[in-house]
Amino acid sequence: MKATIYHNPRCSKSRETLALLQAAGTEIEIVEYLKTPPSRAKLAELYAKAGMTPRQGLRMAEDGAKALKDAADDAILDAMAADPILIERPLVETAKGVRLGRPPEKVREIL
């Protein structure tokens, strides 16, 4: 099986999720999303496949997220595309769907 992980190597949950994918023998494409951010359209697609709203994918711990407290989904997607640190990580995509790896074990659902 092939998986794409939107990864931040500095994040422990992202590293744990990557290790889980490796242990499962998955063919992995690693996208360091801070260096190569997904487009706004790709983010919208990922959240739709995950059954999540952009708000649920917003990294609330970041200062920039506070300004989005009452924002609509379109504004959140715009902000994430402009400042990818606002994207909660890691997102994993396979042919079976998309999951946010929080906790990392959630990605087993799509392997």
Active-site positions read: 11
Dihedral, CA of residue 73, residue 36, residue 60 and residue 20, to nearest 10? 110
What is the arrangement of strands in the sheet containing 27-32, beginning at the earlier edge strand? 27-32, 2-7, 91-94, 97-100
- Residue 55 identity (one-letter amino acid): R
What is the rounded distance in angstroms from the CA atom of residue 74 to the CA atom of residue 41?
11
User: In 3-state terms, what secondary structure has residue 8?
Assistant: coil
Q: Where are the alpha helices (DSSP H) in the chain?
A: 12-23, 40-50, 63-66, 73-82
